[in-house]
Amino acid sequence: MTTLLHRRFSPSALDEIIATAPESSAILSEAHRHSLSARFRAVATTEHRAIDAWMVEHGGKPHDLFAWSPAMTRRTLANAALRRVRAHDVGVLDAVNEEVDELLVRAAAGYTRSGSLASWLAQLSSPERAAVLAEATSWTSQLVEVTAPITHAWSVAVADAHYDVAQARTSLRARRDLVVEGPHGRVVVRVRAGAPGKSAGPGLRADLTVDALRDLEGRPSTRYVGLWPEAGVLLSVDGTMDDLRAGARDLVRTAVAWRRHRVSVAA
């Protein structure tokens, strides 16, 4: 049985959902990892595939070609700016400005690859850069708003969770924005724009499973929380074996659907 929980957002809702995370969570063993790897290997592919919650939610549809835009930069910049706001007690706009300035310095020093955020920012005109700043400032302010009432220790996630499935040419990725030290273990929060669709639950379970796989001991978060501030909705799943299994099943199904998409495109 799934533990998917739906709550309306209120200033205290996120803290309550963290405080009520379950005491224990399941653990993924080596046998589980081998079994998952075998299932992915059974879905043969000639190229490397990367699967994430977005693909799970969209039935294996591959991502569009990536291009930077103000909307695409906001999460990277806002998470980094939120870290600065917490560490140095600076205002939101100052934090975003400092983050962008640091990236520009890096680009000017030649420490960036072409196609990176820093090199893209460096080639923008100042009004275009201001559009990036506005987008990131709004998102950072939103993050400051939702994190202010959290009473537990938390930090901005350093990176998303990545897991390479052994011998299956498959990478799994789970989105993580905040890592909270809950009363009984870690709780991960991911913040997304827009509104959750009908398959938001499977997406969240896929993230939970990937987060557990990337843990050396196979220990999942006690609770994985999805927050959609624009819709005022919170969804969460707990780190139970049922949810981990459902998440793994959805990831494998997505690999199958992804292969169908590729075959139909090639045909």
Give the interface segment with another protein, choosing from 45-53, 67-75, 154-162, 165-173 (CB under 8 A). 67-75
Nearest CA-CA partner of 80 in 42, 118, 39, 111: 118
Q: CB of residue 29 vs another protein: minimum separation in angstroms?
A: 40
Angle, to 10 degrees, between the axis of helix 30-42 and the axis of helix 241-266?
20
CA distance 124 to 140: 21
Binding residue for another protein (CB under 8 A) from 112, 137, 209, 221? 137
Q: By CB under 8 A, is residue 194 in contact with another protein? A: yes
The residue within the footprint of another protein, chosen from 128, 184, 241, 260 (CB under 8 A), is 128
For CA atoms 151, 244, 219, 176, the dihedral sign is negative
Burial 10-43 (b: 16+ CB within 10 A, else e): eeebbbebbeebeeebbebeeebeeebbebbeeb
- Least separation in angstroms between residue 70's CB and another protein is 5
| Closest CB 75 distance from another protein, rounded Å | 15
Strand order in the sheet with 161-165: 49-52, 170-174, 161-165
Among 94, 160, 164, 215, binds another protein (CB under 8 A): 94
132 binds another protein (CB under 8 A): yes
Provide, rounded to whole angstroms, the least separation between the CB of residue 87 and another protein: 16
Residue 21's nearest CA partner among 223, 157, 158 is 223
Choices 21-29, 62-70, 110-118, 160-168 (CB under 8 A): range interacting with another protein: 62-70
**Residue number, 8 or 113, with CB nearest to another protein:** 8
Q: Is 133 in the site for another protein (CB under 8 A)?
A: yes
Nearer to another protein, 46 or 126 (CB): 126
Spatial contact of 100 and 121, defined as CB atoms under 8 Å apart: yes
User: Residue ranges of the alpha helices (H) in 67-199?
Assistant: 70-88, 92-109, 117-122, 126-147
Helix (H) or strand (E) holding 217: none
- Cβ proximity to another protein: between 114 and 125 the closer is 125
Give the nearest distance from C-beta 229 to another protein in angstroms: 8
Of the candidate spans 46-54, 108-116, 139-147, 155-163, the one that interacts with another protein by CB under 8 A turns out to be 139-147
Contacts of 87 (CB under 8 A, 6+ apart): none
Tell me which of 42, 44, 108, 148 binds another protein, using CB under 8 A.
148
The arrangement of strands across the sheet holding 5-8 comes to: 5-8, 233-238, 223-228, 185-191, 178-182, 154-156
- Contact residues toward another protein (CB under 8 A) are 8-11, 13, 67, 69-71, 90-94, 96, 124-128, 130-135, 137-138, 141-142, 144-145, 148-149, 193-195, 229-232
